[in-house]
Amino acid sequence: MIEILSNGAPNLIQDAGRRGHLGLGVSRSGAMDGLALSVGNALVGNEPTDAAIEISLFPFRVRFAEDQEFAVTGADCAVWLDDTVLAPWWGRTARAGQTLVIERPKRGARAYLCLAGGVDVEPVMGSRSTDLKGAFGGFEGRGLRRGDALKVRAAPARSFRESGLGVVPTDLPQFWRELSAGVVTVRVVTAAEYPQFTDEAKASFADTEFEITPESNRVGYRLSGASLRLADPLELLSHGIVPGTIQVPPSGQPIIQMAEANTCGGYPKIATVVEADLWKLAQAPIGSRIRFVVTDVNEAVESLRARTAELTKLRRTLTLMSQRG
């Protein structure tokens, strides 16, 4: 069990998401940064879909009520276990009574605290994720508060780690460089209504930068930049949309649907972010600038296949290292 020592409504229990219910009007939810969740779970020997804590408001503090293996991934944060500084993307074991502090990120936007066994809350529609719009799932359907006590599911016994073990995903160093330079590149494939946009809009979409505005959250990122206009007025019935869909309302300023994406909408779609790059958006803070790189479906599929292969290899390596420990 762990005790939350800091308030933070944006800090939520999330897993890999509530999939298969869009037809019922239920969002996927789940971790904004699926890469950080998957790696964190691998570091503590969990399944990729186990529930963790997504942290968006800092500093975040918890106290361990019992010995607990954990990992912190995601944003580049200073992490303290009592008086010991830990590296980001690192897993180790805490003793009962120790306090973990995750400071405000130096780079990135969200950190993930993964616990061996996963956070133990009741699944709703096959997922332990918090759905803020529906106020269900996670811990009482809400963000975490000071004094909340979270149970942790039992985990298989592993070697006790004093020093810990860390790992850095292949794409992370390049992403940090882009974020420090001020522009994050995100790959997209064109969507159904792309041909209906003007040539100027298509050129602006691919050649200019867009800024993430403060009117952004887990549902969607509202962007500010070049106005993307249709060649002719277009009336659409509401239709299904998914995380990564980039819609363009009458204002001409695009909206990217995120983890708690609306299940349907009627705005024209200019493109969709490839799934392998969604984690970049999750770690791009408000005010970050984005440049879209148009690619094709084959590259989108191959990028996801490569990411899956990397994570599979990582899990195998960590399993071997744990057995040797």
Q: What is the mean pLDDT of the chain?
A: 93
Element (H, E) at 92: strand 90-94
Measure the CA–CA gap between 272 and 187, rounded to whole angstroms: 9
Confidence bin at 323 (pLDDT 50/70/90) = low
Position 198 pLDDT exceeds 60: yes
Measure the CA–CA gap between 14 and 118, rounded to whole angstroms: 10
The matching CATH number, chosen from 3.30.360.10, 3.40.50.2000, 2.40.100.10, 3.40.710.10, for 175-304 is: 2.40.100.10
DSSP states of 211-279:
EE-SS--SSEEEEESS---BSS------EE--TTEEE--TTS--EEE-TT--SEE-S-EEEEE-GGGHH
pLDDT score for 181: 94
pLDDT score for 226: 96
Residue 78: φ, ψ to 5°: -75, 130
* pLDDT digit string, tens, across residues 214-252: 999 999 999 999 999 999 988 888 888 999 999 999 999
pLDDT score for 320: 75
Position 315 pLDDT exceeds 60: yes
pLDDT score for 163: 64
Q: Looking at residues 93-109, what average pLDDT do you find?
A: 96
Q: Looking at residues 168-180, what average pLDDT do you find?
A: 93
How many percent of the chain have pLDDT more than 70? 97
* pLDDT digit string, tens, across residues 28-81: 999 999 999 999 999 999 999 999 999 999 999 999 999 999 999 999 999 999
Going by the DSSP 8-state scheme, the letter that residue 323 receives in this structure is H
pTM: 0.95
**Residue of higher predicted confidence among 266 and 163:** 266
Domain boundaries, the chain: 2-167, 175-304
Any residues with CB less than 8 A from the CB of 123 and at least 6 apart, and which?
Answer: none
pLDDT score for 162: 63
